[in-house]
Amino acid sequence: MTILIIWLVAFCLIAYFVHQRWNSGVSEGLDKVLPGFLKSHGDNRYLWVITLGVLGSTTLVKPVDMLLVVILLGLIGWAVMALVNWAGSKAH
């Protein structure tokens, strides 16, 4: 129960500060990192606020789990890219 309360408080604070600072840097920072179809335009503001709140609060409460997820996604991405490169070389 304590973890849930800490997560909720962290989520509310992170979402609040991301929402407050959206026009003064958060939006531009996301646009630099994300590909074109995921850019943070006006329609996506609240979606990105909630997403960053969830990711930030989960990272604060369970940092090891988040690190393992990032490592796992990186390994899967690397394997997919290696498979695509291999299949592309065989296609020629």
pLDDT in tens, 5-34: 999 999 999 999 998 988 887 778 877 877
pLDDT in tens, 47-75: 888 988 999 999 999 999 889 988 999 99
SS3 for 29-78 is HHHHHCCHHHCCCHHHHHHHHHHHHHHHHHHHHCHHHHHHHHHHHHHHHH
CA nearest neighbour of 54 among 6, 3, 5, 15 = 15
